[in-house]
Structure 1
Amino acid sequence: MIEAGDIREWRGHEVVDTGGHKVGVLESVYVDTATDLPSYATVTVGLPTRRRLVFVPLADATVGPGYLKVAYDKDTVKKAPAIDTDGELPAEQEPAVFAHYAIEYTPGAGGERRLARR
């Protein structure tokens, strides 16, 4: 498991897929609000004039010299739900992020969000 403090140090490093292909650059980390453990990352993708942040789960991610390797292929990650580079994930779009990766989404007991940016 990647610790929250450790993964934040990787901001700005390359994110690569299961085959070692560059997906983009690690922008930020989102923790699971129930456990406060890293759950998702946002990755900067796109052309310089049309950048966006896509979400990718950190489960089974590994770190290497100067990169973070995620457990998904490049095409899957690039087609994930996205936000603007200066945007925030609206609460109503959280389920779509989980669904894209076939991960069950359950809001908190009081209906609170599952993801929080750190």
Structure 2
Amino acid sequence: MITHEQIPTVLDHPVYDTNGNKIGDAKHVFLDDTTGQPEWVSVKTGLFGTSESFVPIHDASIVEDHLEVPYAKDTVKDAPNVDVDAGGHLSEDEEHILYEHYHIEWDAVWQQANRPGEGGWARAGTTGTSVPSGDETDASATAVSGTARPDDAMTRSEERMHVGVERREAGRARLRKYVVTEEVQQTVPVRHEEVRVEREPITDENRDAALSGPEITDAEHEVILHEERPVTQTETVPVERVRMSTEEHTEEETVRGQVRKERIDTEGVDDEGGRDT
């Protein structure tokens, strides 16, 4: 990370990528308004230095007489063009665009910069103050030397809780088919034959039939008896189709956390803003 004291060493000096390729010359260093630490450097690129690209210098380092940034030359040259306002500030939208170009997560920048007592990337939404090179105004030279502009204001910060959701596996459901054997019972009628002996007396109607055989002799007569028995047979038939599907239900869940806030107390000042006597 480049310190405030190293800014004069950076301005108007070459800027190289990690492969040793010269990108251009450093023209301006932009400070974070909250921390006062260097945040961006503008590099003159293109033919005769006609273009100016912005590069994060949080992970940059000074090597001998030049600044080395952890980005390829083409990445820097393709950085989005942003217009710095007359006060030498980058807007929040412009910073956001640059963060996306260099694949720096906006939320991670916000959380790291809002930890009290820690350095790091500028807080999301803050603007950078330009520190020009030494060939401009006297005020610029003062900024280059590392002397901060007098400021008797006190900054009060507070933490904000950002709540999101993550999708994770909560369980599994499956369909499994298996075979069971059950006893079934059904009543059906069955028939069978039984022998019944019938005797009839000799009458004039049956006398001729009774005397048609031999008078005295041995004889047999056989009758075949029949009966029905239950017979079972099974067949497989489809009875239903079963499938699984999912549906989402939305529930309200309260998330609680702790955030820290700074408070500013006054001493020697009455409630109306005057000096307490």
Q: Normalising to structure 2: TM-score of the pair?
A: 0.37
Q: CA offset at residue 19 of structure 1?
A: 0.6
Q: Which residue of 2 aligns with 1:59?
A: 58
Structure 1 residues 112 and 98, CA gap change in structure 2 (3 angstroms): closer
Among the aligned pairs, what percent are the same residue?
Answer: 34
The one-letter amino acid of 2:127's match is R
Cα shift readout 1:32-83 (whole Å, capped 9, x = no counterpart): 22211111100000112x7111000102211122110001111111101235
Q: Which residue of 2 aligns with 1:117?
A: 130
Cα shift readout 1:4-47 (whole Å, capped 9, x = no counterpart): 12123321111000111000001110112221111110000011
The one-letter amino acid of 1:66's match is D
Does the CA contact (< 8 Å) of 1:26 and 1:42 recur in 2?
yes
Q: Which residue of 2 aligns with 1:44?
A: 44
The one-letter amino acid of 2:102's match is Y
Q: CA offset at residue 114 of structure 1?
A: 2.7
Distance 1:117 1:90 in 2: 9
Structure 1 residues 35 and 28, CA gap change in structure 2 (3 angstroms): same
Higher strand fraction (1 or 2) = 1
Cα shift readout 1:77-101 (whole Å, capped 9, x = no counterpart): 11012357xx866524221111111
Distance 1:68 1:43 in 2: 11
Q: Which residue of 2 aligns with 1:5?
A: 5
Distance 2:5 2:17 in 1: 22
Does the CA contact (< 8 Å) of 1:17 and 1:70 recur in 2?
yes
Q: Which residue of 1 aligns with 2:21?
A: 21
Structure of higher RCO (CA pairs closer than 8 Å, 6+ residues apart): 1
Gapped runs of 5+ residues in structure 1?
none
Q: Which residue of 2 aligns with 1:33?
A: 33
Q: Which residue of 2 aligns with 1:96?
A: 97
The one-letter amino acid of 2:15's match is V
Distance 1:22 1:115 in 2: 25
Distance 2:6 2:60 in 1: 12
The one-letter amino acid of 1:13's match is H
Of structures 1 and 2, the larger Rg is shown by 2
Does the CA contact (< 8 Å) of 1:83 and 1:89 recur in 2?
no
Does the CA contact (< 8 Å) of 1:8 and 1:28 recur in 2?
no
Does the CA contact (< 8 Å) of 1:17 and 1:73 recur in 2?
yes
Q: CA offset at residue 104 of structure 1?
A: 3.2
Q: Which residue of 1 aligns with 2:75?
A: 76
List, as ranges, runs of 4+ consecutive aligned residues in structure 1 with deviation greater than 3 Å: 87-90
SS in 2 for 1:6: helix
Deviates more, 1:92-101 or 1:61-70: 92-101
Aligned length: 115
